[in-house]
Amino acid sequence: MNHFYVWHIRRVKQLIIILIAAFATASFFYVQNLIPLPVFSSNGEARAVYRGDSDTNEVALTFNISWGDERALPILDTLKTNGIKNATFFLSASWAERHPDVVKRIQKDGHQIGSMGYAYKNYSQMKKSDIRKDLIKAQNSFQKLGIEDLTLLRPPTGQFNKDVLDVAKQYGYTIVHYSINSDDWMNPGVQKIVQNVNGAVNAGDIVLLHASDSAKQTKEALPEIVHHLRSKGLKNVTVSELIANTDAKSSEVK
């Protein structure tokens, strides 16, 4: 009987330890999903950023364009009407090749251009050699369009790993993630897009928006978003300006 009692106690302790470990693991991944950490390589060289310095009054509105013919110009018109002359547009080079006039308009209006590579493929599932080929092809296309000195890269699909960081560093890119996701590409309704941004945005944030044809409600949401930023005393700047003096924490990417 005593032997059974001791065994029972040990069994209970083992179960408690397992439960604690499971809870800790679940909590870790839950927090990881809630808070996208600013990411750097372990040696502090290749880096990916998701936000700027919260001690400033600056934010960065960013727009991804990978396909479509209809949404980009109306969004540019809306930005101009609302006095935004320094958003950051991440372009797939394959799309840029087909829309040189829109690319010129983006530049003319004063916005910054970043790369999303050439083809819209998940870099985190590609070999380093294939990532290099895609980036080189994109660079050649952007140069032909008169876009020089590209320093910002937003990997297609937004996913990256250490291999992507290494290749980005090799070609002089800073990978740019985001801290506010508008989910505008899902077309959840104009007010939901506004809520997704305005309900969370603070100084230092990088806001993810889209100007591809899938984002059918972004244009209508922008005026309220811009008005809210100004009401909070926040000003929009390019991503390069936002992160120029960023003091971010580091985390190793594998």
pLDDT, residue 48, reads 84
pLDDT, residue 227, reads 98
- Residue 10 parent element (H or E): helix 2-34
pLDDT, residue 14, reads 55
Distance in angstroms (rounded) separating the CA atoms of residues 232 and 57: 9
pLDDT, residue 245, reads 66
The residue type found at 149 is D
Distance in angstroms (rounded) separating the CA atoms of residues 109 and 80: 7
**So where are the chain's domains?**
1-35, 39-243
Q: Which two tokens stand for residue 25?
A: 């693991």
pTM beyond 0.85 = no
Per-residue pLDDT of the chain (254 residues; tens, 9 = 90+): 544 444 444 554 454 444 444 443 333 333 333 333 334 443 455 678 999 999 999 999 999 999 999 999 999 999 999 999 999 999 999 999 999 999 999 999 999 999 999 998 888 889 999 999 999 999 999 999 999 889 999 998 888 888 999 999 999 999 999 999 999 999 999 999 999 999 999 999 999 999 999 999 999 999 999 999 999 999 999 999 999 965 543 234 55
The residue type found at 49 is V
Q: Are 126 and 161 in contact (CB under 8 A)?
A: no
Distance in angstroms (rounded) separating the CA atoms of residues 124 and 146: 29
pLDDT, residue 149, reads 85
Question: What are the strands, taking DSSP E only, across 45-87?
Answer: 47-49, 58-65
In the CATH scheme, what is the code of domain 39-243? 3.20.20.370
Q: Are 190 and 221 in contact (CB under 8 A)?
A: yes
pLDDT, residue 85, reads 96
Could you give phi then psi for residue 126, rounded to 5 degrees? -110, 155
Could you give phi then psi for residue 104, rounded to 5 degrees? -60, -40
pLDDT, residue 45, reads 56
Which residues are paired to 65 by β-bridges? 91
pLDDT, residue 35, reads 32
Question: What are the strands, taking DSSP E only, across 195-249?
Answer: 206-210, 235-236
